[in-house]
Structure 1
């Protein structure tokens, strides 16, 4: 008994945690991959969001310089744009995080050690799913609930800024034209952005030109969000230049409506601002395509992570950058196919169920082909023969 026990190799805790996951609870491999994937994902997501948001920030800043957006709204819009970009970029960030984490483990020869400890490809998938499944659920909540809310707030903020753009353009002693070009304002004094003095307004309505002048005025907001300049003790002249047909009207109070508008490149589409509960009961092709676009975020997190496992296996002479280049082209193809299928769904050229299911069936096929390439076709044939022989 003593000789047998002395010659037996000592047990190591690391392989035991890998080969007996139920006994060890959250195994060492699960913790290691989860923490590394999470850290890498946050770093990649931060870089991607910074690149995308910096471009959008410059666009918002240009609108603020033109007077289309107030200074107070810049950081609100920036925050909303950042949240929207982070949600849309989550699948790509998780994909790269899993690929980089597993690629590093292959490059540092950690995978052969894990394989010797009994951690095969199935065990590796289990460790990846431990970290990816919570991210998939989180991505689903963000895509279906938070994303439409950010789009609604962005649309509402742009509408408010569009209505108030003409008011912000009014300066003391300067002529200001409305955003639609129909009205010209001139205010000699504009104290504390409240009271106006010596006001001149020229507008054109129903083919007739009108000129209004008054001694004083102030801004008024209605319950519907409309804005008016209320002119006090003034005169209005209506008619056509070059003719004597003018109507002169004196008034104690006269309201001039300020009608701003949002520029086309700032508008949020109607479908993107709808709630997911509205989209799921709608039969409109655009609503269906928008709902499928939101579902693509959590599904993309899951499917791209499954694809990254066989893609991360390094050939003897291959480097990690070769896999990153392959992942880049695969992701670009995935995004382009998604957009093509979305256009086909909007045009009612394919059945609705095929809109995105076809994309993920194709991804599953690519994943299977990579697994066959990684495991070898002989091993796959042996497994299939074993199933057929049962």
Structure 2
């Protein structure tokens, strides 16, 4: 191996070696076994010769270290259940969230499509878009909070679905059939019936 980065030039020869990457810095780490090192400039008569058993050479990388994606997505569900770790719990609830989201969004769609002939669909359409936007943004936020330890394990990462359900139904509560019926019941004034006594 010829190294021209320093003065004088270094020539390293060995019988074998190994190579690995530093996971932190991304540098190349070359370990040489049983060799010699020659320090000197070509054409000059003066050379410094050294013998070594192990020689570690670090070659700095100009590119940042590559971050590989998490392998939890490839683990079977049984393995996630067997290891109750935060990352595995977040991945497990991420898998549960997909089928549960279908049920939750179906329940949300029922009150959002009920429109009387006197009402316009603009308000409920905007509410549906807002609920959809908040739903999936809160999903990513809840999973990140669970994995980083912001939320405790007993809360989990599925709480956002119940929050969206409750918020939408609370906003639609003034237009609900049961509330209107209750208002009509309380608005009725009982008719007073008088009786006359004739002699």
TM-score (norm 2): 0.53
**Conserved? CA contact 1:313–1:374, under 8 Å:** no
Cα shift at 1:297: 0.8
Provide, for residues 106-165 of structure 1, a one-character-per-residue CA deviation record: whole Å limited to 9, x for no partner. xxxxxxxxxxxxxxxxxxxxxxxxxxxxxxxxxxxxxxxxxxxxxxxxxxxxxxxxxxxx
2:148 to 332, 335, 347: 347
Distance 2:113 2:12 in 1: 72
Could you say what secondary structure the match of 2:105 adopts? helix
Q: Contact between 1:344 and 1:350, CA under 8 Å: does it hold in 2?
A: yes
Which secondary structure does the structure 2 equivalent of 1:330 belong to? helix
Point out where structure 1 has 5 or more consecutive residues left out of the alignment. Answer: 1-200, 213-235, 248-260, 383-390
Q: Deviations over 1:73-100 (max 9, x none)?
A: xxxxxxxxxxxxxxxxxxxxxxxxxxxx
Q: Structure 1 residues 361, 278: CA separation in 2 closer, same or farther (over 3 Å shift)? A: same
State the secondary structure of the residue aligned to 1:328.
helix
Per the TM alignment, residue 310 of structure 1 is displaced from its structure 2 partner at its CA by 1.0
> CA-to-partner distance for each residue in 1:184-223, whole Å, 9 max, x for gaps?
xxxxxxxxxxxxxxxxx8679xxx65589xxxxxxxxxxx
Q: Give the structure-1-normalised TM-score.
A: 0.30
Question: Would you say the 8 A contact 1:203–1:211 is kept in 2?
Answer: no
The residue aligned with 1:264 is 66
Greater Rg over alpha carbons, structure = 2
In the TM superposition, residue 246 of structure 1 has moved relative to its aligned partner by 5.7
Gaps of 5+ in 2: 5-9, 15-34, 51-62, 185-199
Question: How far is the alpha carbon of 1:262 from its aligned partner?
Answer: 10
Say which SS state the counterpart of residue 342 (structure 1) adopts: helix
User: Which structure is richer in relative contact order (CA contacts within 8 A, separation 6 or more)?
Assistant: 1
Structure 1 match to 2:110: 309
What is the distance in 2 between the residues matched to 1:329 and 1:241?
71
Query: Aligned-residue CA RMSD in angstroms?
Result: 3.8
Higher helix share: 1
State the alpha-carbon separation in 1 of the partners of residues 83 and 163 from structure 2: 27
Aligned residues: 141
Distance 1:377 1:244, change over 3 A: same
Query: In structure 2, what is the equivalent of residue 167 of structure 1?
Result: none
